[in-house]
């Protein structure tokens, strides 16, 4: 046996630690190992190893506890981890935290048994404490669980271990777990799923087109009108992948909303579907993690974090609803699962398939550039036409319903169909201002207006950012006035109004206030499916994936003023929203109908966006972005400081000086810099905020630039500074 020294990266220590291991062969980088740190043991990753020759200094390093099989953290995950470090400029330790593998406990039972030395010591009755004697005598009878021995003997056990009086035994026993026996299915059984979906000609052509790409790495995209049956096409592709003995990964933006989709899949593919979501308990998670490493020919479904699971033999990665912003994580590490999916597909030499009715402009450009191979479904499945869209002009943004709107709802009620009413904001009144001077009531911690909610029949002022609440009317900060005017409408108010107008209708609301638990959501979704709900009011949450047969009407009482978010993606978001929301209507029958109420200045753009094709929209949007040097024509990085005013200002100033220095090194490299300035929302959670945005023509230049910049600039207090590569939110 040779001895090796391993450099190990742990998810909780920002420094590599070295350990010894005895092994016949060299240890590969990327191996998952269990190592001791202080008195505990942690999982880490081997970054490098070298053979140790000589005997000196042995006592300085500890030994690796155990080395995991490759499947628990395969090479593709190691590459993904390296990619995240480089692309997002984060420390190795924080990047590792993204991977559930490091929170995994092997389901094997760790046992303790007495060693030869221990037996000898016991037989000879050498001097030892009573505790130690008890321990050794107990273990001399049989093995015991590590956890039991640890809790009973603590320090004595540690001493016994260090003196090698006891040995640890571990056995991985997952394959024999009775509950998991049925998880191993033969590939030939899968063929019976092949003909479960009946595709129309167009879908079949799409399927055949993509089938040709299954054996290699490629970026694919399935674009199609809402209700064109994109799901059926990719399900059939999944079956193809399973037939090859490989796994399929399916990413969804919101797994909790997709319960009935998941139920459908489970019914259709019994024993083949595995769902990963944040609601899973610790032990369930752990069990799943242990099991999935052994599986092939399975379908794994989950939100963006699915991309980090130790799934082996991946044959396809599908990103459904590609346009969704949910794929970008907006705290901790600001990764984009769409980018990571692309990377992971490359490491697995398999395709990644983006699916959307309205692909992000970024993807759209790459389709036009020929980087992504796309197939377009133009017809609605079952020949149902797209809903008829009616735009009703109104003189203000908010308020209630036009005759048209109410009549449509009446019709829905009479026909015993269902309606969705989309409201952009939650709460009762989004704004309250002083009746005398007009000053908005704002949160004391944040630079945003307080909204009025009704909680248990009582009026409550709530801040949507920090959650700060108060119940009594405030005093105007500007003029000390006591009279307030509330205006606008949120989902709660719209719900109440509808209940008043339609006393015998069942009006239900879905937003983060009314539905805050998984079980509640499930109950509401079931009620919709069972036809118990007539009108469903909801915020953004209802725009994706709610496909219910009886929904034939979608109403939008008002849309927010277009100018409220000064952001180059506003048009993209509006377009996607309109297509997604209106697409909920009439998916399974004729005569779908949509009524959108809008202010006069909104009408032209809404009219345009509800009639224009995705491709025409894309071309127009690309033109605008090109002129403005916006993504996808540039690559962005944003820096933001969050903290006390003086601290933030000082740091931003320091940054500015360093930025200038680095910029000089990169002259004439197509870089556009926005020097640090205050954010449009000056304060959040009691912290002042500043930002700086840099745009690069070239992705590699961005990388080089950042490398130098971040080497020279590091804030005193790391907590106040964030780097956001490819930001989606700028406020």
Residues 460, 453: contact at Cβ < 8 Å?
Answer: yes
Answer yes or no whether residue 19 interacts with DNA by CB under 7 A. Answer: yes
For DNA, which residue of 35, 307, 434, 451 counts as binding (CB under 7 A)?
35
| C-alpha–C-alpha distance, residues 36 and 66, integer Å | 10
Which residue in the block uniquely carries the two structure tokens 């966006």? Answer: 609
Binding mask 63-92 for DNA (x = CB under 7 A): ----------------------------x-
Among 8-16, 174-182, 361-369, 618-626, the segment contacting DNA (CB under 7 A): 8-16
| C-alpha–C-alpha distance, residues 595 and 602, integer Å | 14
- Cβ burial of 682 (10 Å; 0-12, 13-18, 19+) is middle
DSSP string for 136-161: HHHHHH--EEHHHHHHHHTHHHHHHH
Residues 481, 420: contact at Cβ < 8 Å?
Answer: no
Minimum CB distance to DNA, residue 483 (Å)? 38
For DNA, which residue of 29, 34, 37, 133 counts as binding (CB under 7 A)?
37
Binding mask 526-555 for DNA (x = CB under 7 A): ------------------------------
Among 7-15, 105-113, 135-143, 723-731, the segment contacting DNA (CB under 7 A): 7-15
| C-alpha–C-alpha distance, residues 692 and 710, integer Å | 14
Picking from 44, 635, 106, the residue whose alpha carbon sits closest to that of residue 336 is 635
Minimum CB distance to DNA, residue 232 (Å)? 44
Residues 433, 473: contact at Cβ < 8 Å?
Answer: no
Residue 665: φ, ψ to 5°:
-65, -20
Answer yes or no whether residue 60 interacts with DNA by CB under 7 A. Answer: yes
Nearer to DNA, 17 or 565 (CB): 17
Minimum CB distance to DNA, residue 40 (Å)? 9
Strand runs labelled E in 299-446: 299-302, 314-320, 352-356, 373-377, 388-394, 418-422, 431-434
Nearer to DNA, 422 or 713 (CB): 713
Residue 553: φ, ψ to 5°:
-135, 135
- DSSP state for residue 602 in the 8-state scheme: T
| C-alpha–C-alpha distance, residues 122 and 136, integer Å | 7
Answer yes or no whether residue 38 interacts with DNA by CB under 7 A. Answer: yes
Nearer to DNA, 38 or 195 (CB): 38
Touching DNA, residues 93-122 (CB under 7 A) = 93-94
Nearer to DNA, 418 or 687 (CB): 687
Give binding residues as ranges: 434, 437, 443, 446, 463, 466, 476, 479
Touching DNA, residues 711-730 (CB under 7 A) = 718
Answer yes or no whether residue 13 interacts with DNA by CB under 7 A. Answer: yes
Minimum CB distance to DNA, residue 17 (Å)? 4
| C-alpha–C-alpha distance, residues 49 and 39, integer Å | 24
| C-alpha–C-alpha distance, residues 613 and 621, integer Å | 12
Minimum CB distance to DNA, residue 16 (Å)? 7
Minimum CB distance to DNA, residue 2 (Å)? 18
Among 12-20, 101-109, 283-291, 479-487, the segment contacting DNA (CB under 7 A): 12-20
DSSP string for 272-333: TEEE--TTS-HHHHHHHHHHHTT--S-EEEESGGGGGS---SEEEEEEESTT-GGGB--SSS
Long-range Cβ pairs for the range 565-570 (8 Å, 24+):
565/731, 566/680, 567/730, 567/731, 568/624, 568/625, 568/628, 568/630, 569/361, 569/728
Among 36-44, 105-113, 211-219, 603-611, the segment contacting DNA (CB under 7 A): 36-44
Nearer to DNA, 94 or 486 (CB): 94
Residues 524, 533: contact at Cβ < 8 Å?
Answer: yes
Nearer to DNA, 94 or 259 (CB): 94
Minimum CB distance to DNA, residue 723 (Å)? 13
Among 9-17, 370-378, 413-421, 615-623, the segment contacting DNA (CB under 7 A): 9-17
Minimum CB distance to DNA, residue 393 (Å)? 53
Nearer to DNA, 18 or 180 (CB): 18
Among 13-21, 518-526, 572-580, 623-631, the segment contacting DNA (CB under 7 A): 13-21
Q: Maximum distance among all alpha carbons in the chain?
A: 97
Answer yes or no whether residue 700 interacts with DNA by CB under 7 A. Answer: no
Answer yes or no whether residue 222 interacts with DNA by CB under 7 A. Answer: no
Kindly list the distances between the CA atom of residue 203 and the CA atoms of 169, 210, 374, 580, in Å, as whole numbers in the listed order: 55, 11, 13, 20
Among 6-14, 454-462, 485-493, 664-672, the segment contacting DNA (CB under 7 A): 6-14
For DNA, which residue of 61, 505, 658, 673 counts as binding (CB under 7 A)?
61
3-state secondary structure of 355: strand
Minimum CB distance to DNA, residue 333 (Å)? 11
For DNA, which residue of 3, 34, 62, 170 counts as binding (CB under 7 A)?
62
Nearer to DNA, 38 or 611 (CB): 38
Strands 484-487 and 469-470 come out as: unpaired
Minimum CB distance to DNA, residue 20 (Å)? 7
For DNA, which residue of 3, 18, 447, 477 counts as binding (CB under 7 A)?
18
How many Cα atoms within 13 Å fall on the side-chain side of residue 24? Answer: 0
Among 11-19, 314-322, 385-393, 704-712, the segment contacting DNA (CB under 7 A): 11-19
How many positions of this chain bind DNA (CB under 7 A)? 18
Minimum CB distance to DNA, residue 669 (Å)? 30
Minimum CB distance to DNA, residue 491 (Å)? 36
In the chain the first and final C-alpha atoms are separated, in Å, by 59
Minimum CB distance to DNA, residue 569 (Å)? 31
| C-alpha–C-alpha distance, residues 69 and 32, integer Å | 7
Answer yes or no whether residue 278 interacts with DNA by CB under 7 A. Answer: no
Minimum CB distance to DNA, residue 105 (Å)? 18
For DNA, which residue of 3, 29, 36, 342 counts as binding (CB under 7 A)?
36
Sheet holding 458-462, edge to edge: 451-455, 458-462, 469-470
Contacts of 617 (CB under 8 A, 6+ apart): 575, 609
| C-alpha–C-alpha distance, residues 538 and 257, integer Å | 13
| C-alpha–C-alpha distance, residues 25 and 320, integer Å | 43
Minimum CB distance to DNA, residue 229 (Å)? 45
Nearer to DNA, 65 or 170 (CB): 65
Nearer to DNA, 41 or 180 (CB): 41
Give binding residues for Zn(2+) as ranges: 434, 437, 443, 446, 463, 466, 476, 479
CB atoms within 10 A of CB 332: 11
Among 31-39, 80-88, 250-258, 574-582, the segment contacting DNA (CB under 7 A): 31-39
For DNA, which residue of 2, 12, 196, 211 counts as binding (CB under 7 A)?
12
Nearer to DNA, 62 or 113 (CB): 62
Tally of residues, the chain: 731
Q: Quote the distance between the C-alpha of residue 55 and its chain's center.
A: 49
DSSP string for 3-41: EEEEEEEETTEEEEEEEEEEESSPPPTT-EEEEEETTEE
Nearer to DNA, 41 or 200 (CB): 41
| C-alpha–C-alpha distance, residues 575 and 569, integer Å | 10
Nearer to DNA, 606 or 725 (CB): 725
Among 17-25, 115-123, 214-222, 566-574, the segment contacting DNA (CB under 7 A): 17-25
Picking from 657, 659, 636, the residue whose alpha carbon sits closest to that of residue 710 is 659
Residues that bind DNA (CB under 7 A): 12-15, 17-19, 35-38, 60-62, 91, 93-94, 718
């Amino acid at each position: 046996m040779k001895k090796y020294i391993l450099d190990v990266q742990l998810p909780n220590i920002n420094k590599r630690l070295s350990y010894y291991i005895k092994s016949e062969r060299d240890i590969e980088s990327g191996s998952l190992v269990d190592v001791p740190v202080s008195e505990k043991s942690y999982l880490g990753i081997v970054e490098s190893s070298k053979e140790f020759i000589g005997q000196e200094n042995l006592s300085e390093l500890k030994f690796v506890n155990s080395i995991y099989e490759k499947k628990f953290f395969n090479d593709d995950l190691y590459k993904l981890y390296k990619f995240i470090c480089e692309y997002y400029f984060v420390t190795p330790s924080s990047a590792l935290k993204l991977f559930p593998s490091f929170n995994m406990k092997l389901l094997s039972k760790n046992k303790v048994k007495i060693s030869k030395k221990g037996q000898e010591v016991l037989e000879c009755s050498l001097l030892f404490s009573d505790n130690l004697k008890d321990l050794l005598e107990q273990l001399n009878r049989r093995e015991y669980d590590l956890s039991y021995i640890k809790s009973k003997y603590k320090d004595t056990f540690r001493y016994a271990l260090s003196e090698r009086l006891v040995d640890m035994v571990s056995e991985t026993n997952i394959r024999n777990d009775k509950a998991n026996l049925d998880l191993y299915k033969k590939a030939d059984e899968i063929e019976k799923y092949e003909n479960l979906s009946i595709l129309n000609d167009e879908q079949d052509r799409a399927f055949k087109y993509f089938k040709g790409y299954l054996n290699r790495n490629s970026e694919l995209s399935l674009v199609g009108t809402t209700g064109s049956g994109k799901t059926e096409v990719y399900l059939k592709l999944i079956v193809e992948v399973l037939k090859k003995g490989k796994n399929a990964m399916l990413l969804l933006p919101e797994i909790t909303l997709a319960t009935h989709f998941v139920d459908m899949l489970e019914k259709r593919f019994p024993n083949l579907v595995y769902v990963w979501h944040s609601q899973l308990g610790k032990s369930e998670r752990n069990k799943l993690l242990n099991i999935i490493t052994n599986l092939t020919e399975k379908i794994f479904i989950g939100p963006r974090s699915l991309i980090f699971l130790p799934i082996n033999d991946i044959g396809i990665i599908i990103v459904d609803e590609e346009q969704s912003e949910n794929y970008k994580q907006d705290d901790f590490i600001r990764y984009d699962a769409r980018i990571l999916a692309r990377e992971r597909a490359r490491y697995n030499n398999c395709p990644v398939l983006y699916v959307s009715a309205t692909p992000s402009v970024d993807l759209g450009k790459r389709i036009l550039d020929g980087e992504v191979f796309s197939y377009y479904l133009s017809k609605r499945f079952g020949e149902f036409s797209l809903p008829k869209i009616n735009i009703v002009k109104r003189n203000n943004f908010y308020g209630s319903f036009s005759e048209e709107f109410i009549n449509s709802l009446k019709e829905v009620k009479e026909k015993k169909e269902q309606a969705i009413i989309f409201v952009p904001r939650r709460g009762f009144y989004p704004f309250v201002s002083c009746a005398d001077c007009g000053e908005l009531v704002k949160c004391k911690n944040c630079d945003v207006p307080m909204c009025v909610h009704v909680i248990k029949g009582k009026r409550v002022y709530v801040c949507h950012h920090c959650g700060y609440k108060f119940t009594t009317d405030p005093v105007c900060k500007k003029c000390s006035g006591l009279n307030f005017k509330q205006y606008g409408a949120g989902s709660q108010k719209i719900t109440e109004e509808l209940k008043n107008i339609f006393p015998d209708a069942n009006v239900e609301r879905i937003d983060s206030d009314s539905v805050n638990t998984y079980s509640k959501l499930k109950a509401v979704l079931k009620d919709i499916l069972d036809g118990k709900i007539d009108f469903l009011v909801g915020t953004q949450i209802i725009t994706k994936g709610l496909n219910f047969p009886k929904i034939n009407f979608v109403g939008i009482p008002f849309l927010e003023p277009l100018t409220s978010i000064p952001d180059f993606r506003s048009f993209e978001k509006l377009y996607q929203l309109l297509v997604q929301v209106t697409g909920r209507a009439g998916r399974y029958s004729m005569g779908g109908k949509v009524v959108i109420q809008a202010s006069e200045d909104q009408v032209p753009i809404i009219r345009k966006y509800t009639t224009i094709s995705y491709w025409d929209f894309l071309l127009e949007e690309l033109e605008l972005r090109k002129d403005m040097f916006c993504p996808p024509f540039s690559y962005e990085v944003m820096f933001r400081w969050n903290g006390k005013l003086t601290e933030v200002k000082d740091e931003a100033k320091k940054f500015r000086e360093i930025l200038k220095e680095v910029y000089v090194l990169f002259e004439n490299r197509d870089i556009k810099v926005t020097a640090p300035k205050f954010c449009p929302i000056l304060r959040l959670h009691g912290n002042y905020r500043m930002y700086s945005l840099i745009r690069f023509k070239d992705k590699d230049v961005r990388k080089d630039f950042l490398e130098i910049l971040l080497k020279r600039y590091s804030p005193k207090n790391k907590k106040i500074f964030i780097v956001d590569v490819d930001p989606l939110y700028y406020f």
